[in-house]
Amino acid sequence: MFLEIVKQLRQLIHDEKVPIGGKLPSERELAERLQVGRSSVREALRSMELLGLIETRRGEGTFLSDYRKHKLVEVLSTFILQEAKPKEDVHITREALEKDAIRKVCLSEKLHKLLIWDAFIEKLQVEEVQREDIIREILILSDNRLGLKIWFLLKQYGGEPYRSYMTLEEKGIWTQLLECIKLGDEKKGISFFEDWLLLLNRGDV
């Protein structure tokens, strides 16, 4: 029942085109429209508020929040990600998304021939490059929107070392990786990516 109410609330927000900051119907009205008890509606709203999806203002009502500012990462880190194994799983999942994006770009005739790879190779030679810059672009171009959203959440939790700048050794690996992408060589590209991950995990950079 709880999940069904959340699903119906999402559909209502979509159908009525409630904008960010827009006001939602009252608990009583929602209970009548969804034909469920007010206590069930209240619990569903509380859960959505916990994640920062809606905001309740005393005396004013309930409003739709900016989903980009939701508290999912904070909730995960507080209640779930305190032990080593879940943290390890976060990194494994993030890396799997990154590998899949590299694979998809390599296998696409259109994507691996884009001029952006030459631009990144040139940039690696002459500029400071943050670790996440190229990876983010690969994920965006792979056009897996759900994967990209999940990756942003996982990266936000993991934080470092992705915000740091690449070392010369890393730049060398990424230059070769990008050359593999240009050639559509999926296996070698993934192999260089795994070499880079080993470098990070050893803490040598």
Q: Which CATH number is 18's domain given?
A: 1.10.10.10
Domain final position from 45, 69, 93: 69
* pLDDT > 60? residue 194: yes
Question: How many residues comprise the chain?
Answer: 205
In a domain, 172, yes or no: yes
Check residue 89 and give its pLDDT: 79
Domain final position from 16, 51, 69: 69
98 and 148 fall within a common domain? yes
Residue 55: give the domain boundaries.
2-69
Check residue 145 and give its pLDDT: 83
Residues of the chain with pLDDT > 90, as a percent, come to 43
110 and 62 fall within a common domain? no
DSSP assignments along the chain, one per residue: -HHHHHHHHHHHHHHTTPPTTPBPPPHHHHHHHHTS-HHHHHHHHHHHHHTTSEEEETTTEEEE--GGG--HHHHHHHHTTTSHHHHHHHHHHHHHHHHHHHHHHHH-TTGGG-THHHHHHHHHHHS--BHHHHHHHHHHHHT-HHHHHHHHHHHHHH-TTTTSBPPHHHHHHHHHHHHHHHHT-HHHHHHHHHHHHHHHHHT--
Band of residue 123 on the pLDDT scale cut at 50, 70, 90:
very high
35 and 86 fall within a common domain? no
Number of domains in the chain: 2
* pLDDT > 70? residue 161: no
To the nearest whole number, what is the mean pLDDT of the chain?
Answer: 85
55 and 117 fall within a common domain? no
Number of neighbouring beta carbons within 10 Å of residue 135: 21
110 and 167 fall within a common domain? yes
92 and 175 fall within a common domain? yes
In a domain, 74, yes or no: no
Check residue 98 and give its pLDDT: 95
49 and 86 fall within a common domain? no
- Over residues 8-24, the pLDDT tens digits come to 888 888 888 989 889 99
Check residue 70 and give its pLDDT: 55
85 and 176 fall within a common domain? yes
135 and 198 fall within a common domain? yes
CA pair distance 124, 168, nearest whole angstrom: 9
139 and 165 fall within a common domain? yes
- Over residues 78-107, the pLDDT tens digits come to 555 556 566 677 788 889 999 999 999 999
* pLDDT > 80? residue 183: yes
Q: Please state which of the ranges 2-6, 59-63, 64-68, 117-121 shows the lowest mean pLDDT.
A: 64-68
Domain final position from 12, 39, 69: 69
Among all chains, which residue has been given the structure tokens 């960010």? 20
Report, in angstroms and rounded to the nearest whole number, the Rg of the chain calculated over CA atoms.
Answer: 22
157 and 196 fall within a common domain? yes
31 and 84 fall within a common domain? no
